[in-house]
């Protein structure tokens, strides 16, 4: 997760001299985006995490599986790394940025592997609860199983697209740093609905459809996209590449959501 330049993207020679505000945003936009992503994550996860911890301590639910702790630590570390890397570039310390980028090459595949392992663990945990629950709780737990299998569609989308876009970004880190940095942020935006869907004061379409989750991803990257368009008067090709994967997969998820075929397929995929 490293780039080789710190300045703004190439600009045409006929543009008027930059204002101090323009220069400030050029330098700090990616730092602000990293802070924005971290803020979304904290607002989404802290309240629900505290509630679940209290439920565990009260004996009302099983302790969190170890893999869930590993997933939380890895994602948290990646977000912190994203912020630190953006700060290093903004302050002109490219050498440190490039050296620290090696950590991203370790964290990114670890996140994908742990995420893949976590999916069946959660399925089995809820399935076991459903088997042991009294009759009056069966209906609610069955609904939870249906929802978890639907969520698996989003998890597959994130796992595949995150891997692809982070891989391309790392490959282009020296030859095309402008594409590199945008793809990093666009990839990290994909799992943000895990936090956004937990913010109860936001409008949601869950569990009926995942439409709001897709829209919130677009909203999350909107500040970066808007500044790019205002600054360069064109859409950077990174967004086209990202949308080429995000939009078709989102339409497919929308069509498969809550279908009998997907429910049966998801159960087979996790061995239930």
User: Could you tell me the end-to-end alpha-carbon distance of the chain, in angstroms, rounded to an integer?
Assistant: 37
Confidence of residue 59 (pLDDT cuts 50, 70, 90): confident
For residue 174, give its domain range: 23-269
Instruction: For residue 138, give Cα distances in angstroms to 135, 144, 256.
Output: 5, 10, 25
Q: What is the pLDDT of residue 127?
A: 77
Q: Does the reported pTM lie above 0.85?
A: yes
Q: Is residue 135 a part of any domain in this protein? A: yes
Q: Is residue 119 a part of any domain in this protein? A: yes
CB of 88 closer than 8 Å to CB of 96: yes
Confidence of residue 17 (pLDDT cuts 50, 70, 90): low
Query: What SS3 state is found at 205?
Result: coil
Q: What is the pLDDT of residue 4?
A: 42
Listed residue (84, 88, 75, 86) closest to 42, CA to CA? 75
Q: How many CB atoms lie within 10 A of CB 136?
A: 7
The secondary structure element, H or E, covering residue 185 is helix 177-189
Summarised one tens digit per residue, pLDDT across range 67-110 is 999 999 999 999 999 999 999 999 989 888 888 888 889 999 99
Rounded distance, CA 221 to CA 165, Å?
15
Summarised one tens digit per residue, pLDDT across range 151-164 is 999 999 999 999 99
Rounded distance, CA 30 to CA 86, Å?
6
Q: 14 pLDDT exceeds 70?
A: no
Rounded distance, CA 98 to CA 8, Å?
18
Q: What is the pLDDT of residue 60?
A: 76
Rounded distance, CA 184 to CA 1, Å?
7
Q: Is residue 13 a part of any domain in this protein? A: no
Rounded distance, CA 20 to CA 91, Å?
16
Rounded distance, CA 150 to CA 207, Å?
9
State the average pLDDT over residues 23-44: 94
Q: What is the DSSP letter of 107?
A: H
Summarised one tens digit per residue, pLDDT across range 165-212 is 999 999 998 899 999 999 999 999 999 999 999 999 999 999 999 999
Confidence of residue 6 (pLDDT cuts 50, 70, 90): very low
- The total of structural domains in the chain comes to 1
State the average pLDDT over residues 205-230: 95
Q: Is residue 233 a part of any domain in this protein? A: yes
Contacts of 42 (CB under 8 A, 6+ apart): 195
Q: What is the pLDDT of residue 1?
A: 61
Q: How many CB atoms lie within 10 A of CB 183?
A: 25
């Amino acid at each position: 997760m490293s780039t080789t330049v710190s300045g703004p993207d190439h600009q045409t020679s006929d543009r008027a001299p930059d204002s101090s505000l323009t220069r400030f945003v050029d330098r700090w936009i990616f730092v602000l985006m990293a802070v924005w992503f971290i803020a979304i994550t904290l607002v989404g996860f802290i309240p629900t995490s505290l509630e679940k911890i209290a439920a565990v301590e009260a004996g009302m639910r099983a302790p969190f599986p170890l893999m869930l702790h590993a997933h939380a630590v890895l994602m948290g570390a990646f977000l912190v790394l994203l912020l630190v890397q953006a700060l290093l570039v903004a302050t002109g310390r490219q050498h440190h940025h490039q050296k620290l980028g090696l950590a991203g090459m370790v964290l990114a595949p670890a996140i994908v592997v742990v995420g893949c392992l976590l999916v069946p663990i959660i399925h089995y945990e809820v399935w076991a609860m459903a088997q042991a629950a009294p009759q009056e709780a069966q209906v609610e737990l069955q609904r939870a199983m249906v929802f978890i299998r639907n969520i698996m569609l989003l998890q597959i989308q994130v796992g595949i697209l995150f891997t692809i876009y982070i891989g391309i970004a790392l490959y282009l880190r020296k030859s095309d740093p402008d594409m590199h940095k945008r793809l990093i942020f666009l990839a990290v935006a994909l799992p943000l609905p895990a936090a956004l869907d937990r913010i109860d004061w936001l409008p949601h379409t869950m569990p009926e459809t995942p439409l709001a989750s897709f829209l919130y991803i677009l909203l999350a990257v909107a500040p970066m996209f808007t500044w790019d368009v205002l600054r360069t008067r064109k859409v950077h090709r990174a967004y086209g590449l990202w949308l080429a994967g995000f939009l078709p997969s989102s339409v497919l998820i929308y069509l498969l959501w809550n279908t009998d075929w997907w429910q049966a397929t998801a159960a087979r995929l996790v061995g239930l």
